[in-house]
């Protein structure tokens, strides 16, 4: 008889003290939730996704005519242009690895994937930390060189630059994110130590997650998979320079 598995119930700590297997599942569920929340960091404003946040900002009088949300997301894309592909790739790798922790997967593969999830997590928090340090100290002239100055774009970027350097948070195994690099790194060591105490054939894990519906996307943004897809698509299509070109064309057409 095939053993049933409930990701909500079975991931809870049922023993006192918690058994290694229970700790493993709780730590993984917490990390999964933290990762799911942090993927949207570059495109979240006041807890809302940019495309539903449509009020014009104070610089609408510049005739640029873009929303505050578009500028915030466009700014973060400019500032973190080198880092964002690494960030997205880490999340996609983590998500793919978690899918391989299903009880249907070969135990040997699950064991290897469990170790790799921890290393992907450490790699992500280290890369976020490195990127923040670099942005704080580098010359920002290359950012201005990459955008035109029509519609006062340079001043727009300059006035908003410092506010968006710290937009990325560190995921952690506590169901939420943190700005504390040391706390996130500590979670990595805890997770790794728990992994070392769990038997290779026990690394079954199915995350408790909102379902992803292809026909309802992007209405299924409670899903980690949907958030990864939505974040990538949003950052790909939103470009301040292209918005400027579109605005110029609209002005020409109106005349």
Question: What burial class does residue 227 get, using C-beta atoms within 10 Å of its C-beta: 0-12 exposed, 13-18 middle, 19+ buried?
Answer: buried
Question: Assign residue 207 a region: left if phi > 0, alpha if psi is -120 to 50, beta otherwise?
Answer: beta
The predicted-structure confidence for 71-128, as pLDDT tens digits, reads as follows 778 878 888 888 999 999 999 999 999 999 998 899 999 999 999 999 999 999 999 9
Q: Can you name the residues that pair with 48 across neighbouring β-strands?
A: 45
pLDDT at 32: 95
Other residues' Cβ atoms within 10 Å of the Cβ of residue 108: 11
% residues pLDDT > 90 (the chain): 44
N residues, the chain: 255
pTM of the model: 0.86
**What's the pLDDT tens digit per position in 218-250?**
888 899 999 999 999 999 988 877 776 776 677
DSSP-derived letter for residue 149 is: -
| Residue 54 located in a structural domain | yes
∠ Cα 199 171 211 (to 5°): 75
Is residue 179 within 8 A of residue 185, CB to CB? The reply is: no
Decide which of 153 and 40 is more confident.
Answer: 40
pLDDT the model gives residue 150: 66
In the chain, the number of structural domains is 1
Mean of all residue pLDDT scores within the chain: 83
Q: Which residue has the higher pLDDT, 145 or 192?
A: 192
What is the tens place of the pLDDT at every residue in 46-64? Answer: 777 777 655 545 444 455 6
- Single out the residue of 134, 177, 154, 146 nearest to residue 44, CA to CA: 177
Confirm whether 11 is domain-assigned: no
Which pLDDT belongs to residue 38? 93
Q: Which residues contact 64 (CB under 8 A, 6 or more apart)?
A: 151, 152, 153, 156, 243, 244, 247
The SS3 of residue 134 is: helix
Between the two ends of the chain, the Cα-to-Cα distance in Å is 74
For residue 136, tell me if it sits in a domain: yes
Asked, for residue 91, whether it belongs to a domain, the answer is yes
Query: Does 13 fall in a domain?
Result: no
Query: Range of 28's domain?
Result: 20-254
The pLDDT value recorded for residue 1 is 41
Q: Is residue 102 part of a domain?
A: yes
Q: Is residue 29 part of a domain?
A: yes
Is 1 part of a structural domain of the chain? no
In this prediction, residues 175-198 reach a mean pLDDT of 92
């Amino acid at each position: 008889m095939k053993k049933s598995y409930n990701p909500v119930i079975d991931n809870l700590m049922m023993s006192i003290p918690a058994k290694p297997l229970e700790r493993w599942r709780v730590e993984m569920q917490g990390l999964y939730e933290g990762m799911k929340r942090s993927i949207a960091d570059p495109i979240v404003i006041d807890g809302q996704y940019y495309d539903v946040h449509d009020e014009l900002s104070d610089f609408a009088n510049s005739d640029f005519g873009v929303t505050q949300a578009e500028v915030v997301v466009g700014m973060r894309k400019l500032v973190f242009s080198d880092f964002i592909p690494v960030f997205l790739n880490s999340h996609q790798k983590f998500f793919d690895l978690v899918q391989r922790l299903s009880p249907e997967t070969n135990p040997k593969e699950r064991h290897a994937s469990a170790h790799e999830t921890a290393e992907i997590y450490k790699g992500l928090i280290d890369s976020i930390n490195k990127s923040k340090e670099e942005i704080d100290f580098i010359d920002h002239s290359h950012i201005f060189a990459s955008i035109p100055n029509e519609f006062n774009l340079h001043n727009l970027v300059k006035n908003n630059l410092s506010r968006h350097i710290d937009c990325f948070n560190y995921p952690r195994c506590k169901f939420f994110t943190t700005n504390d690099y040391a706390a996130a790194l500590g979670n990595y060591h805890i997770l790794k130590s728990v992994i070392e105490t769990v038997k290779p054939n026990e690394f079954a894990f199915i995350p408790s997650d909102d379902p992803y519906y292809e026909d309802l996307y992007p209405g299924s943004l409670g899903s980690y998979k949907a958030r990864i897809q939505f974040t990538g698509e949003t950052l790909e299509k939103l470009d301040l320079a292209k918005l400027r070109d579109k605005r110029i064309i609209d002005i020409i057409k109106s005349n």
